[in-house]
Structure 1
Amino acid sequence: MPETQPNNPLHGKTLEAILNELVAFYGWKRLGDQVPIRCFTDNPSIKSSLTFLRKTHWARQKVEDLYLNMRR
């Protein structure tokens, strides 16, 4: 039986889904202002951003924190 995590709002959310929601809500410009990393500010795309975020823990943490703040 799969383990549930009722107190984890990120449970079941993929990084791609989180990023798509952030881009839809903020747009690339504002997202780059909120989390100033080049994959958001210089020729942004979902694919390049996912590649960077999967390799860079601190950037992924900032994106997840921004997502949680957006959901409040």
Structure 2
Amino acid sequence: MEQSKDPLHGIRLDTILEELVEYYEGFEGLGEQININCFTSNPSINSSLKFLRKTPWARAKVESLYLYVLRQKQKRNRSENS
């Protein structure tokens, strides 16, 4: 079976969101990266998921930021291991 070339293949939106909230140390930090109400006004994982599932442009921004964060983590791991 062929592996998907999509780095997001098989990764759930809630997992992406939780990792981003953790990486940016809360919704406040995430809201500074992507300024949308679901991150800046009474944010929660559930309300953000509802919004992102209905709003393709916002979801695309979140997925793009997630890919950036993955690259940053990989760079950090490489520099720590060298």
TM-score, normalised on structure 1?
0.91
Corresponding residue number in structure 1 for 2:8: 10
The Cα shift of 1:4 comes to 2.8
The Cα shift of 1:69 comes to 0.3
Structure 1: give runs of 5+ residues left out of the alignment: none
Structure 2: give runs of 5+ residues left out of the alignment: 72-82
Q: Which runs of 4+ in 1 moved over 3 A?
A: none
How big is the alpha-carbon RMSD for the aligned residues of Structure 1 and Structure 2?
1.1
Amino acid at match of 1:12: G
Between Structure 1 and Structure 2, whose CA radius of gyration is higher? 2
Distance 1:34 1:58 in 2: 15
Corresponding residue number in structure 2 for 1:59: 58
How many residue pairs match? The answer is 70
